[in-house]
Amino acid sequence: MCWWTNIGSALVEANMTSSEPLTTFIGTSFRSVWALELLLLLKREGRPLLTKELVASLRASTAVVDQALDSLVAGGLAASDGRSALYCPVTPEVAAFVDAAESAYAMRPDHVRRIIIASANPNLIAFSNAFRLKD
């Protein structure tokens, strides 16, 4: 059973006064940009989508979609029966974070991508930072 919401922007803004909670949510909820794109597709459609529809819409492989979907289900963001998937945030607070992440991704996609990549590859970021020029 899914919890459905229609949260207005005022609630999202009230819960997102600091960017730190949103950054943490994005970094811990999405293992890849594919996962974020998949969740936003499910949210936008508002209906169960077959795995083959997700693969076609995202132009991704079945393995990429399955891995991203498993991550979203484990994180309480989506539901799946093995054949289809549905946007299904576990609480109103999670739905508000998804709304805020969607807005952030629309306004600053590169920033959101960097958060996801940095969270997925902390060793790579540490390695690249070692070569930064100091002032």
Is 13 within the bounds of a domain? no
Is 74 within the bounds of a domain? yes
Would you say 49 and 68 are in contact if contact means Cβ atoms under 8 Å apart? no
Q: Which domain holds residue 74?
A: 18-127
Instruction: For the beta carbon of residue 40, count every other beta carbon within 10 angstroms.
Output: 16
CATH number at residue 110: 1.10.10.10
Q: Count of domains in the chain?
A: 1
Is 7 within the bounds of a domain? no
pLDDT tens for the chain, 135 residues long, are 464 444 444 334 444 445 899 999 999 999 999 999 999 999 999 999 999 999 999 999 999 999 999 999 999 999 999 999 999 999 999 999 999 999 999 999 999 999 999 887 666 555 666 676 665
Is 1 within the bounds of a domain? no
